[in-house]
Structure 1
C-alpha cells in the first residue's frame, strides 16, 4: 500500500477522574483482540471455501464451476475487508498484510496482458512483462528465476521481486486477476472478461492452461496458509495479542484509535478513494479486475464501525459481541459517543449509496470516478467527506480517552493534492 504522509493527533490522556476504571479499558483492549480473532477466522473459513471452489474448477473446468469460483472470491472479500482497521497500529498485521492484499499490481508479472493499454515496458519494473505462467525460466535484469514448477514457495519468492511493490504475486488480487483477467474497459461499463477455457485441457485459450491452473491453485493454497498464520497471531499467546497484552491501557486504546483513524482517513478516504477521483483513473480501483471496489470500500468502512461498536456478524450469521470502545466512550462522554455513532452511520449511508448504485447495475465504481461523471463523482466525494468527518471525531476520542500519542496515516490526495501530479 502507498503511504504518502502523516497527520498527528496528539493527546494527553491519563485514564483519570470521570473515566471508566482501568480494568474497563483493559476489557475493551481484550475485546478488540477477540473481535480480530473472530474476523480473521471468518476470513480463513471463507478462503477455505474459495480454495475448495478453485480446486473443483481446476479439476473439472466449465463455465459453471468458473462462476462458482468467482462467486466464492467475492464472498471471501466480505469478511477480510472488515479486518483492515487492525492493520494500522498492529505491527504483526501491517508486516503480514502485504502478502494477502497488496495492490495495485503489474499483472504482466503473472500472465498474458493486452499491451495496448498496459504497455510494453516499465522503467520502474524489470519484471513488468515477465509472464511467469508462460515462462518456466525467467531471466530479467541479471536475475534468473526457475519457474519450472509453480508452487506456493515460488510465489513467495516472486512477491515484490526486485524490491518493486507492484510485483504482486500472491494474495486476493493475484487470484482476482487469474479469475477475471484484465479490465480493459477503462471507465466504461464492464469488468475483466477472462474465459474459463483459459484453464481447459482441451481447446485451451491463450496458451499455458495447465501452468495457469498451477498458479491459481498455488495462490489459493498460499492465501489459506497466510490467513492461518494471522489467525494464530490473534489466538492465545499469538504475536498480535501478546503485543497488546504488553501495552499499557493508554497504549492499547491508542492502538485501536490508530487503526480506526488511519484506515478512515489516509488509506480509505485518501489513497483508495480521493486519489482515484482526482486522477479519474480506474487503475486506482481496489478490486479492479472484478469491479468489486464498491463492496471493498463499503466493508472497509463497516469494519471501522464494528470495531468501535464491538460487534461482528460472520458470513454464516454467527454474531460476536465484545466490550467495546463505544462502551468506554459512553461512560465518559455520552454526547461524544452519540456524535461518533452518528458519524459512523453517516459514513455507512454514504458508502451504502455507492454500493447500491453498483449493485443495482446503474454503474460500477470505476465508472463513478470517470471524468465528467458529475453524479458518480459526487457520490464518491460524499463517501470521502463522511470518512474525513468521522476521523475528526476519532481525534476527539483520542483527546477524551487518555490514549498515548498516535500517528494517523495521511495521504497527499487529501493533504497536498497538487503533489499527486508531480
Structure 2
C-alpha cells in the first residue's frame, strides 16, 4: 500500500511540473483569486480525508495486533502507520496561516515527546528525571495513579478522557499523550541505537495475552487502541472543517488574507519549521532525538512529503491515495499574471528542494537512516541534509519576493537554529 501511495504522489508531482508550465490566459484578478482559493480548500479537504482514511486503515491493523499479537500483526500495524504519514505530512502546509488547523495540530502531530510519560523506558539512555517535567517517567501504562505538583490524577481507566487530560499536562509540551508519535512509540518503542543503525524494536510480546513482556500488556493495548481512535476522530474533524460549511473553508472568503495564509503555510513550513526545527537543530546537535519520526526511522519520508505538500499548494495539484487527482488554478497562476519570471524561478526553487529531499529519501532507503545522516563525523550524510536546508532557505527567499510582487504582508516563522545558531543548546 505504501509503495502504491508513494508512486501515485511522485506521478502527481511530475504531472504538476507539466501543468504549471502551461501558459495561463488572462483573467480578472478577483476571479483568479477565488479559483485559487477554491483549489486550495479542495486540496486541503482531500488531504485530510485521505489522512482519515489511512488512519482508519491503521486502526484496523492495530485492532488485529491487539486481537492476535504476533510478529506479523505488529509488522502490519507499523506499515499502516508509515502509510498513514504520507497524506498527513502533505497537510502540514495548511497549519501555518490557518488558525483552525494550528490550534488543533498539537493533538495529532506534537513532537518531540517525553515517552516516559506513556510507557517503560530504558533509564540508562533516557534518564530518570527532568527538571522541566515532573511526569518525565510517570509511565501511565504501569501506574494507575499519577502524582505531581501536589496533585493526584486517577489513571485507572485508560480512555479518551484520560489521554486528553494527559496531553501537555502541567503545561509541558513534551507530555504528548496522543497523536501519530504516541502511537509510533507504542508500535516501535524507543530507538536505543543513537546514530547507529536500527530503529525502535519493541517486541510483539508487549501485547501478548500470554507470555507478556515488560508488564501491563492489557493496559498497553488499551492505550494504543484509544490513541488510534482519537487520531481517527481528530482527522475526521479536520476534514469537516474544510468542507463547504466548515470553519476553515469559510475563512477562505477573506480574499487577500486567505492568499496570505497560503503563502504563510509554504514559507513557515519551509523555513522555520522544516529547515530550522526539524533539520538544522538536529544537525547542529548531531542528536537523533531531534529527528521527527525518531522511533520508526521514518523521518526521511516525513521531510519528503512536507515538500510535496508545498508543491501541492503552489501548483494546485494533489494526487489522492486512490490515484485520483484534485487540481485547479493556484498560486502559480496568481504570481505568473504579475511576475512570470518570478513564478518560473519559484517553480524551479521548489523543484530543486524536492530533488534535495528525494536524495535524502533515496539514501535512507538504500544506505543509512536519517538519524545516521545527522550523526557527528558523517561528512556525506551531514552535507546531504545541509543541502536540503539550503534549498529550503533559498526557496523561502524567493517566496518573500513573491509576497512583495503580490503586494501582501506576510511573516514567516523563524528558528534559532537558522537565525541564532550560537544560542542552540544553551540554557
TM range (shorter): over 0.9
Aligned residue for 1:83, secondary structure, equals helix
The structural deviation recorded for 1:140 is: 2.1
Q: Is the 8 A contact 2:251 2:258 kept in 1?
A: no
State the TM-score, normalized to the length of structure 2: 0.92
The structural deviation recorded for 1:98 is: 0.1
The structural deviation recorded for 1:402 is: 2.6
Aligned residue for 2:199, secondary structure, equals coil
Gaps of 5+ in 1: 1-17
Please show how residues 198-347 of structure 1 align to structure 2 within 5 Å: 198-245=206-253, 247=254, 249-347=255-353
Looking at structure 2, the residues matched to 108 and 20 of structure 1 have their Cα atoms a distance apart, in angstroms, of 57
The structural deviation recorded for 1:421 is: 3.0
Q: Is the 8 A contact 1:39 1:79 kept in 2?
A: yes
Q: Does 1:406 align with 2:410?
A: yes
Runs of 4+ in 1 over 4 A off after TM superposition: none
Looking at structure 1, the residues matched to 384 and 241 of structure 2 have their Cα atoms a distance apart, in angstroms, of 38
Aligned residue for 1:35, secondary structure, equals helix
Q: Does 1:370 align with 2:378?
A: no
Q: Deviations over 1:53-72 (max 9, x none)?
A: 10111011111111000000
Aligned to 1:117: 125
The structural deviation recorded for 1:19 is: 8.4
Aligned to 2:41: 33
Cα RMSD after superposing both structures: 1.1
Aligned to 1:6: none
Aligned to 1:12: none
Match of residue 190, structure 1, among 190, 198, 206: 198
Higher relative contact order (CA 8 A, sep 6+): 1
Aligned to 1:356: 362
Aligned to 2:53: 45
The structural deviation recorded for 1:306 is: 1.1
Please show how residues 4-19 of structure 1 align to structure 2 within 5 Å: none
Q: Is the 8 A contact 1:257 1:398 kept in 2?
A: yes
Q: Deviations over 1:132-166 (max 9, x none)?
A: 00011112221211111111121011000010000
Looking at structure 1, the residues matched to 51 and 324 of structure 2 have their Cα atoms a distance apart, in angstroms, of 13
Match of residue 81, structure 1, among 66, 83, 89: 89
State the TM-score, normalized to the length of structure 1: 0.94
Looking at structure 2, the residues matched to 421 and 208 of structure 1 have their Cα atoms a distance apart, in angstroms, of 36
Q: How many residues were matched structurally?
A: 401
Gaps of 5+ in 2: 1-25
